[in-house]
Amino acid sequence: MSGKRDLTKQHVASILGGVSPEIAAQRLQPVLESPPRVPTGSAKVSLTRARAMWDEIGGDPALQEILLDKCPDDLELYQGNIENAIGLLRMPIGLAGPLRVNGLAAKGDYPIPLATTEAALVASYHRGCRLLTAAGGCSALVLYESLSRAPGFVFETATEACRFVVWAVGEFDEFHRIVATTTSHGQLVDIACTVEGNHVYLNFEFTTGDASGQNMVTLATQAICDDIIARSPVQPKRHYVESNLSGDKKASARAFVSARGKKVTAEAHLSAELIAKHLHTTPQAMADYWRMSAIGGVLSGTLGIHGHFANGLAALYLATGQDAACVAESAIGVTRFEVTENGGLYASVTLPGIMVGTVGGGTGLPSQKACLELMGLYGTGKARALAEVCAGLLLAGELSIIAALASGHFSRAHRKLARQRSGKGAVIESP
């Protein structure tokens, strides 16, 4: 028992960081005097307003030069995408692929722009793309698409809650009509309910066309809520446009039984010869590693089983103007590897919540639009194709990272590429 007490003392000491408990308590108290100067907030985006913001905060001129003065003269183009603008962030964009995708919406060879500061990431996805393309491409398709918003309603009793549910479910056609007045792109396709005591959670499912659609469904749901308050025979005590049931911007098991955005799958059959040439390992070694990693995922309680979906999604989302926070919900799913009867490898990925759009949001900004246009996926009618390309990219990434781990090359690749700071570079065909 004394050993546990000693560990506890060490832990407490590490929290205090070498100061006494009395000093630590003083440091944690609120400081109310001499509050810092708070700049005047503004949604206006311009060089003039940005310079005024720098003047208000008294920022280091050297930092202003980096973040603002070296910006192009088109800061105004970001109006509606940012508040309190003080400059632009520059990130390197690497190219993976081309990736051949044989999808119901995406059909062709796609160069993949990836924005990241993580060395070895583009190299890894690049070799996975090259393998899939050499094999004739991956097959990919959108299985289902919907985006939910889940308002919450509070009643006096469970009896009132149940009466409300009976009424609300019967009003679907009217709710559908109301949604049509808020958007020409989205549609209400389903309604479900969850009752918890005197609380009611209504889950509205929408299609959102080629937009990612979070703002679209929020405005549509608000219009429904306004109608409910105006017409419901059972009035709630309180209501909220989102009750945290929809899974917005967070990983949830709920997505597996429905969809969150676009549910997408991609697969490929790969010969042992191609795997040896591009990944320097064998189908059996990859399947063996995948099996152990799948059990490891179960033991750790992860939502889904995969290697690193978030890496590829975050880099592609940043490059193409998607909502980067949606990686939290998009990067869940299942990777599966099996050795085939002819000694090759069957590989697939399935993701229930790919949140992407090819119009709206940040997709029309200069760099982001250029990246989408590079892929041939900017504009109306391209969102399903982008989702299928996402799935193909993630399949490429899973093949590459699992091969690296199965063959013992994972650390070597990071050591080789992450430490290339001299500018000479390295060939990345076989990281």
Q: What are 13's two structure tokens?
A: 């000491």
Q: Which residue has the tokens 């040896």?
A: 276
DSSP assignment of 232-274? -SS--SEEES--S-S-TTS--THHHHS-SEEEEEEEEEE-HHH
Which residues does 396 contact at the CB level (< 8 Å), separation at least 6? 96, 99, 125, 128, 129, 131, 132, 138, 312
| Side chain identity at residue 336, one-letter code | R
Query: Distances from the Cα of 3 to the Cαs of 6, 10, 337, in angstroms?
Result: 5, 11, 45
Catalytic residue among 69, 118, 242, 288: 118
Rg from Cα positions in the chain: 26
133 and 204 Cβ atoms separated by less than 8 Å: no
| Side chain identity at residue 427, one-letter code | V
> Does 118 qualify as catalytic in the annotation?
yes
Closest by CA to 193, choosing from 168, 159, 219, is 168
- The strand ranges marked E within 104-186 are 107-115, 138-149, 152-154
Question: Judging by beta carbons within 10 Å of its beta carbon (0-12, 13-18, 19+), is residue 241 exposed, middle or buried?
Answer: middle
Q: 202-227 in b/e burial notation, b at 16+ Cβ within 10 A?
A: bbbbbbbbbbbbbebbeebbebbbee
112 and 84 Cβ atoms separated by less than 8 Å: no
326 and 355 Cβ atoms separated by less than 8 Å: yes
> Does 414 qualify as catalytic in the annotation?
yes
258 and 205 Cβ atoms separated by less than 8 Å: yes
Catalytic residue among 242, 288, 323, 338: 323
Distance from C-alpha of 285 to C-alpha of 279, rounded to nearest angstrom: 11
Catalytic residues: 118, 323, 414
